[in-house]
Amino acid sequence: MNRVLRLFAAVLLFAALPASATEYVAGKDYEVLDPPVRTANPAKIDVTELFWYGCGHCFIFEPLLDKWQRQLAADVVLARSPAIWHPTMELHARAYYTAKALGVLDKVHQALFDAMNVKQNKLAGEDAIAEIFVANGVDEQEFRKTFNSFGVASAVRQADARQRSYHSAGTPELVIEGKYRVTARTAGGHQGMLDVADHLIALERERRAKAGASDSAAASQ
C-alpha cells in the first residue's frame, strides 16, 4: 500500500508541474552545450552570466539581471563569470574576483561598470582599478595584495577555462545548469534572455523532480 501511495503522489507531482513552454527551441532560441560543463553546486540549478565591465550591452543588462535575481526561487543560484579575451579583460576579471575576495562586490561591481560605460575610463591598468576600490572604502595596500594574490589568479584561470568550455562568442550570455547557452541574438534581446532562462530552469526543475520520483519508486521495490 505504501508503494502505491508513493507512486500516486509522484503522479500528482508531475501533474502539478507547469507545462514547459514549447515556443523555445534548442538550436534556435538557445544552444545546447555538448559536453555539458560541471557546475559548482549540484544541489542548485546554476545560472551563470558571462560578462565584461566594458561591454555596453552588459551595462544595460545588469539592472534587468539584478531584478530577475532577486525573484529567483531558493533552488536556483546566479553566478557571474568575467569574460577574458585579451590582457585588459584579464585585469577586469582580476578586479571582479578581488572585490569578491574582499567582500565589497556589492559596492564595487556597479562602480566598475559605471567607470567604463559612463565615465569612459578604460581601466587599463592596476592603478586605475585601485582608484575605484579606494573610492569605495578599500585600503589600497589591501587591494593590491589581493589583486595580485594566488587566489585571485586561480579564479581568473578558472573563469578563462569556463568561458572556453561554454564556447562563448560574446557578452552578455547566460549558461543554465552548464547545459544551455542563451544569448541576446538567439533569444531576441535582453528580456528574451531571461524569459528563455526561466523556461530552461523550469525544464531542469521538472527533470530533477522526475529523477527524484523514479529513484524513490526504485528504492521502494
Closest CA to 108 of 71, 61, 147, 78: 147
The domain over range 84-167 is classified in CATH as 3.10.20.30: no
Would you state the cell numbers that stand for residue 152, as one nine-digit string? 585571485
Closest CA to 18 of 213, 192, 178, 198: 198
Classified by CATH at the fold level, domain 1-83+170-221 comes out as: Glutaredoxin (3.40.30)
**Do you know the residue count of the chain?**
221
pLDDT on residue 7 = 39
- Residues 76-109: tens digit of each pLDDT: 999 999 999 999 999 999 999 999 999 999 999 9
Secondary structure letter of residue 168 according to DSSP: -
Whole-number percent of the chain with pLDDT over 70: 86
- Residues 151-186: tens digit of each pLDDT: 999 999 999 999 999 999 899 999 999 999 999 999
**Domain-wise residue ranges, the chain:** 1-83+170-221, 84-167
The pTM score is: 0.87
pLDDT on residue 213 = 75
pLDDT on residue 219 = 63
Q: What is the mean pLDDT of the chain?
A: 90
Rounded Cα–Cα distance for residues 93 and 155 (Å): 9
Residues β-bridged to residue 35: none
pLDDT on residue 98 = 98
Closest CA to 31 of 174, 159, 161, 160: 174
Same fold, 1-83+170-221 and 84-167: yes
In the structure, what pLDDT confidence band is assigned to residue 220 with cuts at 50, 70 and 90? low
Comparing 172 with 5, the larger pLDDT belongs to 172
- Residues 113-143: tens digit of each pLDDT: 999 999 999 999 999 999 999 999 999 999 9
Comparing 220 with 146, the larger pLDDT belongs to 146
CA distances (Å), 103 to each of 4, 32, 63, 106, 196, in order?
51, 34, 21, 8, 31
Confidence check: pLDDT of 42 > 70: yes
